[in-house]
Chains A and B, each alone.
Chain A
Amino acid sequence: MGTNVTIARDGLQALIEALRADGREVIGPTVREGAIIYDAIRDIADLPAGWTDRQEAGRYGLEQRADGALFGYTVGPHAWKQFLFPARETLWTMRRTGDGAEVTDGATPASRHAFIGVRSCELHAIAIQDKVFVSGPYPDTNYRARRADAFIVAVNCGQAGNTCFCVSMRTGPKVEGGFDLSLTELLDDTRHDFLIAIGSEAGAAIMQHVPHRPATAADLSAADSAVARAAAGIGRHLQTEGLKQALQAAPEHRRWDEVAARCLTCGNCTMVCPTCFCTTVRDHTDLAGNTARRVREWDSCFTLDFSYIHGGSVRHAPRARYRQWLTHKLANWIDQFGTSGCVGCGRCITWCPVGIDITEEAAAIANAPAAAREAHHEGA
Chain B
Amino acid sequence: MAATDPAVAADPFLPALYRVARTRRELADTVTLELLPLEGVRPDFAPGQFNMLYAFGVGEAAISISGDAAEGAAFVHTVRNVGAVSGALARMRPGATLGLRGPFGTGWPVAAAEGADVVIVAGGLGLAPLRPAIRHILNHRRRYGRVVLLFGSRNPGEMLFRRELERWRQRLDVEIGVTVDHADPSWRGNVGVVPSLIRHASFDPHEAVAFVCGPEVMMRFTATALLAAGMGGERIWLSMERNMKCAIGLCGHCQFGPTFICKDGPVMRHDVIGGLLSVREI
Contact = CB atoms under 8 A, between A and B. Distances in A.
Given A105-B11, A283-B57, A335 B258 contact: yes
A138 B250 contact: yes
A101 B258 contact: no
Contact of A281 (B1, B19, B60, B279): B60
A329 B38 CA distance: 42
Contacts of A91: 13-14
Interface string B216-227: 010000000000
Contacts of A299: 245, 251-253
A178 B186 CA distance: 71
Interface stretch (B2-10, B69-77, B160-168, B206-214): B2-10
28 contacts: A92-B13, A92-B15, A100-B97, A101-B17, A101-B56, A101-B97, A103-B2, A105-B2, A105-B14, A136-B248, A137-B263, A138-B249, A138-B250, A252-B279, A278-B252, A279-B251, A280-B251, A280-B253, A281-B245, A299-B245, A307-B242, A308-B243, A309-B242, A310-B86, A315-B282, A324-B255, A335-B258, A376-B280
Given A308-B243, A335-B258, A278 B2 contact: no
B246 interface: yes
Interface string A289-321: 100101010010100001111110011110110
B30 to A, nearest CB: 12
Contacts of B274: none
A330 to B, nearest CB: 12
Contacts, number: 131
Contacts of B281: 314-317, 319-320
A289 B55 CA distance: 12
A294 to B, nearest CB: 8
Interface residues of A, number: 56
A306 B253 contact: yes
Contacts of A138: 12, 248-250
A83 interface: no
Contacts of A335: 258
A320 B241 CA distance: 18
A309 B245 CA distance: 11
A233 interface: no
A248 B258 contact: yes
A314 B241 CA distance: 10
Contacts of A189: none
A248 B200 CA distance: 37
Given A137-B249, A279-B251, 8 more contacts: A94-B99, A96-B97, A101-B17, A105-B14, A133-B250, A279-B252, A281-B251, A331-B258
Contacts of B2: 92, 102-105
A285 B252 contact: no
B225 to A, nearest CB: 12
A60 interface: no
Contacts of B19: 100
A310 B248 contact: no
A358 to B, nearest CB: 18
A13 interface: no
A133 B10 CA distance: 14
Contact of A279 (B8, B57, B245, B278): B245
B10 A141 contact: yes
Contact of A137 (B1, B58, B99, B248): B248
A255 B233 CA distance: 31
B249 A378 contact: no
A251 B282 contact: yes
A292 B57 contact: yes
A369 to B, nearest CB: 16
Contacts of A279: 245-246, 250-252
A336 interface: yes
A378 B15 contact: no
B228 interface: no
Nearest to A328: B255
- A-B CB proximity, top 7 nearest: A278-B252, A320-B281, A310-B82, A335-B258, A138-B248, A332-B258, A138-B12
A277 B3 contact: no
Nearest to B85: A283
Contacts of A92: 2, 11, 13-15
A238 interface: no
B94 to A, nearest CB: 13
A299 B244 CA distance: 13
Nearest to A85: B250
Interface string B29-40: 000000000100
A375 B155 CA distance: 33
Nearest to B250: A140
A32 interface: no
Contacts of B3: 103
B185 interface: no
A355 B159 CA distance: 52
A336 B11 CA distance: 22
Contacts of A248: 257-258
A132 interface: yes
A100 B17 CA distance: 8
Given A248-B258, A279-B245, A320 B251 contact: no
A354 B78 CA distance: 46
B99 A283 contact: no
Contact of B1 (A102, A294, A320, A331): A102
